Amino acid sequence: MMEIRFHGRGGQGTVVASKILADALAKEGNYVQAYPEFGVERRGAPVYAFIRIDNKPIYDKSRIYTPDHVVVVDPTLVEAIDVTVGLKPGGIIIINSDREPEDFRFQEIYRVATINATDIAVKYKLGTLATPIVNTAIVGAVIKILNLCRLESLVEAIREGVPIKPEDNIRAATEAYEKAKTLL
Amino acid sequence: MKKVIMGNHALSYGAMLARVQVISAYPITPQTQVVELLSEMCASKALEAQFIKVESEHSAMAALIGASLAGARTFTATSAHGLTLMHELLHWAAGGRLPIVMGNINRALAPGWNIWADQNDSLSQRDTGWMQFYCANNQEVLDSVIQAYKVAERLYIPAMIILDAFSLSHTYEVVDIPEQSQVDAYLPPFKPAFRLTPDEPHAFGGLTSPDYYFELRYKLQKAMENVPEIIEETGREYEKKFGRYLGAVEAYQVDDADLILVTSGTAGSTAKVAVDKLRKRGLKVGNLRIRLFRPFPFEIVRHYLRRAKKVAVVDRNISYGHHGIFYQETKSALYGFSSVPIFGFIAGLGGRDITPETFEEIIDYTFSHETPEAEIIWIGVKK
């Protein structure tokens, strides 16, 4: 079983990111369980989304406290909160950032990967310049970095599940996928 | 067709596949998505149903009572304060023998305002004459709606499909959504014995003197007593058609178990993780998840528990001044049949998480005590 925690801010599509990832993984026969932080979300405030992935039915309905990996959708959160709370040793921290992995200082038990999803989202005019919607680009990078599923499964999931600009979202996810490097 | 959907939408798809004809509802967190999707289905004609918007849950149930009397298959969904506001009409629906099916998201009652999982909302409706099904995963939610109509319309008893706030309502899982034609073959259209129609006038729910009222209630109880058998029959038929059995309980690793947990809802799923882990350490533990709470399946529970050396009941609810409610029922089921020590734990009120470690703590306590130190053993209360 693999557990991933997403960090974002309300309004960025973080919860949708975990749902798209779940859709893509389910297409390859995986068992998935995705859920948002239980409670109230506010635009701009830190939000969380979680996903469990396994090759057998997932009976654990409790919350995820010790994720294997984390995804930081909003880079300002790295300064604002501790995104490594509960993160297992060896965990990968995937950050949406224009900086290099070496520019981030975390405990040495973790690895960092960066992807400039904001740039990609702006390029394909996803969301607005002020609040680009980066979730499809982020998921494109996540499936490559964590070696989770084929790009084709994600493309299919976006085509079926993203109502606004599906083809541009697919281009964004594909570009992020191609730019990212596998770490697992 | 397999699809990743949230528990709330599993209720909506279940209602759609059951071809409900009238839906009436009022929004409340964490239920709103159930009826949001249904209203979209009605608007797009994916579902040929009347969607009646109302000003309260009390009115929602009143509208369904009228529609059900007219012979329509009816559905609503609510949660917590919405359900308690419906209370009077729940008696009307059951007393009127109307096979209405509703979804209820188990949420805590205020005050302290709390939107998280807690069973007290539905359990405080236990004596209204509704069947109650507690679900452990999204697939079961969808399947239960379809089965509930079959049982409800056969026995003329309304049914409540119950799922935990957030840990099911807002959690996405893979659900196999059956074909409409398959569901049609399992669940024929609703054809009530009596209905409100201008062609053949009737009066329903009129003044009933002491000469007759008693017998009406006797008959409701007799119908309730038939439920476990009909659940078994319709659950086996469901298994034949869809590959998934729907019984009154889910027994997991109980055959040789020294200690059997009695659980419900999503906690009854998480318990299996603890059972697997402790079995690897050589401890003979099992889990009996109660799916059907009303009517309580006394004989079935007795069958599984009487061979155990210890029983640990885990309640996400409390009857103030008494104990956990599943604990009361379990004791009642075994009274006079078994002297097995029964331990009653209360955990997870107001959405406090119930984890595999919670069950390990419960199992440790039960193994290390001959008998419980108190009628309620509280798990995780901050001192």
Q: What is the pLDDT of residue B202?
A: 86
| pLDDT at residue A12 tops 90 | no
Spatial separation of the C-alpha atoms in residues A33 and A41, rounded to whole Å: 20
Inter-CA distances, B192 with A132, B97, B218, B360, Å: 55, 10, 20, 49
Residue with tokens 């409706």: B125
Q: What is the pLDDT of residues B181-215, one digit of tens each?
A: 999 999 999 999 999 999 988 889 999 999 999 99
Instruction: List the end-to-end C-alpha distance of chain A, in Å, as a whole number.
Output: 14
Q: What is the pLDDT of residue A10?
A: 87
B156 touching A, CB under 8 A?
no
CA distance B169 to chain A (A): 10
| Segment 1-20 of chain B within 8 Å of chain A by CB | 2-4
In this prediction, what percent of chain B has a pLDDT beyond 90? 98
Instruction: Say if CB B288 and CB B322 are below 8 A apart.
Output: no
Q: Give the count of alpha carbons within 13 A of B196, CB side only.
A: 12
Q: What are residue A117's phi and psi, to 5 degrees?
A: -70, -30
Closest Cα to residue A36, out of A19, A24, A22? A19
| pLDDT at residue B324 tops 80 | yes
Chain A interface, best mutation among B174, B263, B269, B316, by max A CB count within 10 A:
B174
| pLDDT at residue B38 tops 90 | yes
Mean pLDDT lowest among A75-79, B72-76, B348-352: A75-79
Q: Give the helix, strand, coil percentages of chain B, each rounded to 5.
A: 40, 20, 40
**Domain boundaries of chain A, sorted by first residue:** 2-179
Spatial separation of the C-alpha atoms in residues A14 and B317, rounded to whole Å: 33
Pick the CATH number of B251-378 from 3.40.630.10, 3.40.50.920, 3.20.20.70, 3.30.700.30: 3.40.50.920
Instruction: Say if CB A168 and CB A30 are below 8 A apart.
Output: no
| pLDDT at residue A39 tops 80 | no
> Identity (one letter) of the amino acid at B22?
V
Q: What is the pLDDT of residue A37?
A: 86
Q: What is the pLDDT of residue A11?
A: 82
Per DSSP bridges, beta strands B131-134 and B159-164 are parallel
Inter-CA distances, B52 with B22, B60, B71, B76, B227, Å: 7, 8, 16, 10, 30
Per DSSP bridges, beta strands B2-6 and B172-176 are antiparallel
CA distance B328 to chain A (A): 25
Q: What is the pLDDT of residue B92?
A: 98
Closest Cα to residue B152, out of B165, B133, B170? B133
Average pLDDT, chain B: 97
Inter-CA distances, B62 with A40, A120, B26, B117, Å: 31, 53, 12, 26
Spatial separation of the C-alpha atoms in residues B145 and B13, rounded to whole Å: 9
In this prediction, residue B140 has a pLDDT band, given cuts at 50, 70 and 90, of very high
Pick the CATH number of A2-179 from 3.30.470.20, 3.40.920.10, 3.40.50.150, 2.40.50.140: 3.40.920.10
Instruction: List the end-to-end C-alpha distance of chain B, in Å, as a whole number.
Output: 49
> Identity (one letter) of the amino acid at B209?
S
**ipTM for the predicted complex:** 0.96
Spatial separation of the C-alpha atoms in residues B35 and B77, rounded to whole Å: 7
Residue B173: list chain A partners with CB under 8 A: 32-33, 58
Average pLDDT, chain A: 95
Mean pLDDT lowest among A45-49, B152-156, B274-278: A45-49
Q: What is the pLDDT of residue B7?
A: 98
Write out the residues of chain A at the interface with chain B, using a CB-CB cutoff of 8 A.
Answer: 18-19, 22-23, 26, 31-36, 38-40, 58-63
**Range A70-75 average pLDDT:** 96
| pLDDT at residue A151 tops 90 | yes
What's the CA angle centered on B62, arms B59 and B63, to 5 degrees? 85
Q: What are residue A65's phi and psi, to 5 degrees?
A: -110, -25
pTM: 0.97
Establish whether domains B2-240 and B251-378 are of one fold. yes
Q: What is the pLDDT of residue A97?
A: 97
**Domain boundaries of chain B, sorted by first residue:** 2-240, 251-378
Spatial separation of the C-alpha atoms in residues A134 and A118, rounded to whole Å: 6
In this prediction, residue A13 has a pLDDT band, given cuts at 50, 70 and 90, of confident
User: Which secondary-structure segment (H or E) carries B225?
Assistant: helix B210-225
Q: What is the pLDDT of residue B122?
A: 98
Considering CB atoms only, which of A23, A58, A62 is closest to B354? A62
Considering CB atoms only, which of A32, A33, A38 is closest to B166? A38
> Identity (one letter) of the amino acid at B46?
A
Per DSSP bridges, beta strands B131-134 and B292-294 are antiparallel
Q: Give the count of alpha carbons within 13 A of B257, CB side only.
A: 27
Q: What is the pLDDT of residue A43?
A: 83
Considering CB atoms only, which of B167, B174, B351 is closest to A61? B167
Q: Give the count of alpha carbons within 13 A of B98, CB side only.
A: 30
In this prediction, what percent of chain B has a pLDDT beyond 70? 100
Q: What is the pLDDT of residue A42?
A: 80
Q: What is the pLDDT of residue B285?
A: 98
* Cross-chain residue pair A33–B170, CB shorter than 8 Å: no
Per DSSP bridges, beta strands B159-164 and B101-106 are parallel
**Range A30-36 average pLDDT:** 97
Instruction: Say if CB B380 and CB B347 are below 8 A apart.
Output: yes
B2-240 maps to CATH 3.40.50.970? yes
Q: What is the pLDDT of residue A90?
A: 97
